[in-house]
Amino acid sequence: MTPLCYVAAPDLDTLYRTEDGWVRTGDLGLIDEDGTLRVVGRLKDVVIRGGANISPAEVEIELAAHPAVRDVVCVGVPDPLMGERLAACVVPRDEVAPSLVELCAHLDTRGLERRKHPERLLVLNELPLTPAGKPDRAELRDRWASDAERHQPLASAG
């Protein structure tokens, strides 16, 4: 199947189609053990930490399974050493928010590679939303930058 905008547009074909005929959509997916494809985000939402790519959506899926987490969005925040660090922006289910150490222990039990664990935690009462009703990642990055000294990193993160 070819998107209509690609017909008679060889420049688009060159830019978005692989040599074996696949179209690059910009979506990011994971293939489960049973072969099921799960679309978990967009490539442009990838956090690059020290040259390694981390899918915030993949981490969000696992963090959302924590019993103390009502909502979660992960974003990349600037870091002078690593380029970016992954920050988990969490709305707790109850009055007591989970700590970053607790969240990372949860991710260990879920089998998520340690290199993908968040290294920063921002606890919120609610997630900011865009006019379209999606989590406002830019606003979360801005909040992190304006409040960075209050948010402690995970001591063992490198």
Which pLDDT tens digit goes with each residue over 59-88?
999 999 999 999 999 999 998 999 999 999
More confident residue, 121 or 36: 121
Residue 133 included in any domain: yes
More confident residue, 25 or 118: 118
Residue 87 included in any domain: yes
Roughly how many angstroms between the first and final C-alpha of the chain, as a whole number?
A: 45
Phi and psi at residue 34, in whole multiples of 5°? -85, 5
Residue 138 included in any domain: yes
Phi and psi at residue 139, in whole multiples of 5°? -65, -40
Residue 44 sits in a domain whose CATH number is: 3.30.300.30
Residue 36 included in any domain: yes
If one counts the domains in the chain, the total is 1
Residue 37 included in any domain: yes
The CB-side HSE value for 156 (13 A sphere, CA atoms) comes to 7
Residue 17 included in any domain: no
> Tokens 């199947």 belong to which residue?
1
How far is 43 from 53, CA to CA, in rounded Å?
Answer: 10
Tokens of 75: 């974003």
Residue 134 included in any domain: yes
Q: Are 86 and 54 in contact (CB under 8 A)?
A: yes
pTM of the entire predicted model: 0.71
Residue 16 included in any domain: no
Query: Domain limits at 59?
Result: 24-147
The whole-number pLDDT of residue 126 equals 94
Which pLDDT tens digit goes with each residue over 86-122?
999 999 999 899 999 999 999 999 999 999 999 999 9
The whole-number pLDDT of residue 157 equals 42
What mean pLDDT is reported for the chain?
84
Lowest mean pLDDT among 43-47, 73-77, 99-103, 147-151: 147-151
Sheet with 69-79: strands ordered across: 69-79, 83-92, 120-123
